[in-house]
Amino acid sequence: MWFRRDLRLGDNPALLEAAASAETVLPLFVFDPRLWDPAGSPRQAYLLASIKALRDQIGGLVVRWGDPAHEVERVVAEVEASSVHIAADYDPYGHPRDVEVKQRLEGREVPLARVGSPYAVAPGRVLNQQGNAYQVFTPFSKVWRDHGWRAPAETRHVSWDHSLESVDLPAVRVPGGMTVPVAGEEAALTKWRAFLDGGLATYDVDRNRPDLDGTSRMSVHLKWGEIHPRTMLADLAQSDAPRKAVDRYRTELAWREFYADVLARRPDSARDYYRPELAAMTYDDPGEQFEAWKDGRTGFPIVDAGMRQLRAEGWMHNRVRMIVASFLVKDLHIEWHHGARHFLDWLVDGDIASNNHGWQWVAGSGTDAAPYFRVFNPIDQGKKFDPQGVYIKRYVAELRDCPLDELHQPHDPIVDHAEERREALARYEAVRRA
């Protein structure tokens, strides 16, 4: 069993098929330098913790380092494996990697069996009546829900093969002051059950409030497959929480699946503009203002709180992600790629489909994109979603004694929001007229 983004034993169809195909299963994880090296240290640290949790669950894990096509083939030869089992990967890098591994194994007459995926409905299966993929979210989500998904797979006993030695796990130094979330399948299930029993009931009301503990924070566990969305959807179907709250949470899971579907269909959209007409927009080169944004030194309290939360926790509330993204693109006029890359450097839940398409949504160049002329006002956003300043004061220490009537106002701001909004709209109008 070659583990990748499915770091769990429960509800794992690929693992079940591996166990059914042979008397013993060798658990393998390959650290791929092409994925590991560009990843930010927070994401590396979380993955490492998740690998250790999986190793402890199994009682041992074969770890290798290098090109997966070479390392998987070598392990197959060492144990004379009859098959290799994986969950399908649809990312721009993962899919061709698996094709290469499959071709290498075919030379040894060993099949690469792909069963399941990180999604409730695999990318490419939600189609319109003409057999084409959906371009926007709302019709996708309806058909996605009508399509349905399998029940969670049973968890069965697996006889593990511990005959091979492993290389040492890499060392990772987490940025000073950062606390990485507890990783692993057990942690994921514990957090999910607590949310089902608590926060879910008011999720539709509280989800946009960063000052409240109103979200599940399950994104990192979904990213690494410590829990499958199929498990979560089954639990939601049995929940006694208000229907509006359940439907709202299910919709958020659908967004994750939609962006994965878009990326599988348009792998270029991970780096390039989904809507190419906005590629002609005039942007400023990242400089001192970009560094101030990254450090949480813009002078706009809600923006600075979000950027400091990112550095402290490797995570940021979703509403605040939109606010800080809009500020970078439309107040500082810096291209969305720079912000998306910074997020991936720091987020423990950094997922290229959700992250990069989320940034394109804010920039006005993605699917279902917010109109470019929609510019988030960071002052109004702070007042609306952090009305008592609890979130701001939690992360911006120098404002903890600031009176509430002054708290949301800019403090030594690096730009004038009203002026930069006019500039952003003028640049957009120039592109529109071109």
Model pLDDT for residues 30-57, shown as the tens digit of each residue: 999 999 999 999 999 999 999 999 999 9
Nearest to 247 by CA among 275, 205, 210: 205
Write out the two tokens for 209. 């409030």
The residues near 12 (Cβ < 8 Å, ≥ 6 apart) are: 6, 87, 116, 153, 155, 228
Cβ atoms of 390 and 211 closer than 8 Å = yes
Cβ atoms of 338 and 290 closer than 8 Å = yes
Packing angle, helices 318-326 and 301-313, rounded to 10: 120
What pLDDT is recorded for position 372?
72
What pLDDT is recorded for position 363?
93
pLDDT digits 0-9 by tens, 105-135: 999 999 999 999 999 999 999 999 999 999 9
Backbone angles phi, psi at 124, to 5 degrees: 95, -5
CATH 3.40.50.300 fits 276-433, yes or no: no
Alpha helices in 198-335 (DSSP H): 203-206, 219-223, 229-237, 243-265, 288-295, 301-313, 318-326
Beta bridge partners of 160: 25
Cβ atoms of 347 and 314 closer than 8 Å = yes
At CA 124, angle to CA 40 and CA 236, rounded to 5?
A: 75
Nearest to 198 by CA among 248, 239, 247, 256: 239
SS3 per-residue string spanning 92-140: CCHHHHHHHHHHHHHCCCCCEEECCCCCCCCCCCCECCCCCECCCHHHH
CA gap 426, 406 in Å, rounded:
30
CA gap 163, 208 in Å, rounded:
50
The residues near 101 (Cβ < 8 Å, ≥ 6 apart) are: 68, 69, 72, 73, 84, 112
What pLDDT is recorded for position 348?
97
Write out the two tokens for 36. 């590991």
Packing angle, helices 318-326 and 352-363, rounded to 10: 50
Element containing residue 261 per DSSP (H, E)? helix 243-265
**What's the start-to-end Cα distance of the chain, in Å?**
54
Q: How many helices (H) and strands (E) would you count in the chain?
A: 20, 5
Burial of 103 (0-12, 13-18, 19+ CB in 10 A): exposed
Nearest to 170 by CA among 310, 10, 49: 49
What pLDDT is recorded for position 78?
97
Burial of 126 (0-12, 13-18, 19+ CB in 10 A): buried
Cβ atoms of 7 and 54 closer than 8 Å = yes
| Alpha carbon 314 to chain centroid, angstroms | 12
CATH class in words for 2-117: alpha beta
CA gap 334, 313 in Å, rounded:
25
CA gap 422, 8 in Å, rounded:
50
CATH class in words for 119-151+186-265: mainly alpha
Backbone angles phi, psi at 25, to 5 degrees: -125, 130
What pLDDT is recorded for position 316?
98
What pLDDT is recorded for position 369?
65
- Residue-range domain boundaries for the chain: 2-117, 119-151+186-265, 276-433
What pLDDT is recorded for position 277?
86
CA gap 38, 340 in Å, rounded:
13
Q: Which residues of the chain have pLDDT under 70?
A: 369-370
What pLDDT is recorded for position 432?
84
Average per-residue pLDDT in the chain? Answer: 96
Using CA atoms, how far residue 38 sits from 41, 70, 290, 379, 398, in Å, is 9, 20, 20, 35, 33
At CA 207, angle to CA 204 and CA 208, rounded to 5?
A: 115
